[in-house]
Amino acid sequence: MPDQTAIPEDAIPENSAELARPSDSRLSTEEITPPLTEWLSAKAGSPATITGIHPPDGNGMSSETVIVDAEWDGEQHNLVVRVAPDPKSDPVFPDYDLDVQFKLMEHVGTTTKVPVPPLYWSEPSDAVIGYPFIVMGRVDGEVPPDVLPYTFGSWLTEATEEQRQQLQRETIEALAGIHASPMPEDLLEAPRDGETALAAHLRRVEDFYAWTIEGRSGSPLLERALQWARENLPDTDESLLTWGDARIGNVIYQDFHPAAILDWEMAARGPRELDVAWGIALHRFFQDLTEMAGMEGLPTFWRRSDVEKMYAEASGVTPKDMDFYVAYNTMIYSMILFRVQCRAVEYGQAEEPDDPDDKILNKATLAAMIDGTYWEGIGDQR
């Protein structure tokens, strides 16, 4: 169990399950059905009928998603329509280029054996339903939940150790497959002259933080973490296609096998360790919360040492500087949590705390990581 002095109970606010996706930012399914039907008919080249439309259950807070059942040419099509959020709804991220995400999935699907969802069409304009959107085929299966996190009790905690290890191994193999894909040069922003891909990544993280705190009080902890990242940035010029949000909550599983890799809004050029460490950082966040709630969670799942070993076996490359990358990714996720909690305050779902750092649910973990004391507190879970 993590050192209780590293993760105090008051680090977990009462609204820890709130992901601040306000209901009034969601689309009206009644309003978008007629124009979407007309658009589907034009794309399919045949009259289409929408027989069902509703928002999904489960993960996702960065964009709008609509589940659509449609018919054309006498066939049933089970679709997922992912829609860019309204900029006026105070979104989690400043930019949402769904067309690029669609093309990235096409690229990965055609250049690797990594499973991606069936891809129908991309609509980059806001002329149809008011916002850009993409249409994908619906993939049946199970997704590890974020709220409450899968460590609190889920189909993963009910699985056998062998099933979890299979899921872990095959997901890591898919991640290695993404990294083996040729770089889609026209889809990802290139570093500036004299800048490594990792330095460019940090620059964009700094830009995201600056955007997050516009008109708000900043976070002393996040600013300390950014300074730490600048001072400890590894010297590497590796530049691969990275998934960005590389975690099991963005994978649909069928019988513990990855069936579709989702959510590419954080894809970027960078070293492979960005992706390898992201899943570790997110699992540590969930596991720490679970243990602070007095539950066992999944202490033998997604352990850092196991993930590093499995990735090396799958890719032929041993990850380096992982202390940095896990802490760096924890910082990035802390920024996202900070942003989400700012939205919750603005939508009246939470009160503004006296200390801005209290908006960061994993603030104690982040502080311990950049101070170099975190890993000594979790024992054999490393």
45 or 13, which is more confident: 45
What mean pLDDT comes out for the span 239-261? 98
Q: Supply the pLDDT for residue 14.
A: 45
Q: Alpha-carbon distance 105 to 110, whole Å?
A: 8
Pick from 60-69, 182-191, 338-347: least confident = 60-69
DSSP state for residue 57 in the 8-state scheme: P
Percent of the chain whose pLDDT exceeds 70: 91
Q: Supply the pLDDT for residue 326.
A: 98
Total count of domains within the chain = 2
Domain boundary among 122, 137, 152: 137
The answer to whether residues 223 and 92 belong to one domain is no
Q: Supply the pLDDT for residue 18.
A: 43
Pick from 93-97, 340-344, 358-362: least confident = 93-97
DSSP state for residue 55 in the 8-state scheme: P
Residues 6 or more apart whose CB falls under 8 angstroms from that of 51 comprise 69, 70, 71, 76
Q: Supply the pLDDT for residue 301.
A: 97
Give the active site residue among 245, 263, 275, 288: 245
The answer to whether residues 107 and 165 belong to one domain is no
What mean pLDDT comes out for the span 341-348? 86
Statement: residue 200 has pLDDT above 70: yes
Say if 14 falls within a structural domain: no
Q: How confident is the model at residue 57 (pLDDT cuts 50, 70, 90)?
A: low
Pick from 55-59, 121-125, 185-189, 340-344: least confident = 55-59
The answer to whether residues 205 and 236 belong to one domain is yes
The answer to whether residues 119 and 251 belong to one domain is no
The first and second tokens of residue 179, run together, are: 């990294």
Over its C-alpha atoms, the chain yields an Rg (Å, rounded) of 21
Burial of residue 154 (number of CB atoms within 10 Å: 0-12, 13-18, 19+) = middle
Statement: residue 15 has pLDDT above 50: no
DSSP string of 71-106, one letter each residue: EETTEEEEEEEEEPPPGGG--SSS---HHHHHHHHH
The first and second tokens of residue 146, run together, are: 């974020």
The answer to whether residues 117 and 208 belong to one domain is no
Statement: residue 17 has pLDDT above 50: no
Say if 1 falls within a structural domain: no
Domain boundary among 137, 154, 178: 137
The answer to whether residues 221 and 350 belong to one domain is yes
Active-site residue flag, 95:
no
CATH code at 42? 3.30.200.20
Mean pLDDT of the chain: 91
Say if 196 falls within a structural domain: yes
Angle between helices 273-292 and 363-371 (to 10 degrees): 130
Q: Supply the pLDDT for residue 78.
A: 97
Pick from 226-240, 308-322, 364-378: least confident = 364-378
The answer to whether residues 42 and 173 belong to one domain is no
pTM of the model: 0.91
The first and second tokens of residue 220, run together, are: 């002393």
Residue from 95, 269, 84, 96 nearest 186 by CA:
269
What mean pLDDT comes out for the span 256-281? 97
Q: Alpha-carbon distance 289 to 297, whole Å?
A: 9
The first and second tokens of residue 69, run together, are: 């059942």
Residue from 134, 154, 152 nearest 143 by CA:
154
CATH code at 178? 3.90.1200.10
The answer to whether residues 352 and 261 belong to one domain is yes
> pLDDT tens digits, residue range 101-156?
999 999 999 999 999 999 999 999 999 999 999 999 999 999 999 988 999 999 99
Beta strands per DSSP E along 38-174 = 49-54, 64-72, 75-83, 119-123, 133-137
**Domain residues for 158?**
142-381
Residues 6 or more apart whose CB falls under 8 angstroms from that of 276 comprise 175, 246, 307, 308, 311, 319, 322, 325
Domain boundary among 90, 111, 137: 137
Nearest-10 Cα torsion for 369, 373, 375, 376: -170
The answer to whether residues 275 and 175 belong to one domain is yes
Residue from 188, 207, 274 nearest 236 by CA:
274
Please tell me the total number of residues recorded for the chain in this structure. Answer: 382
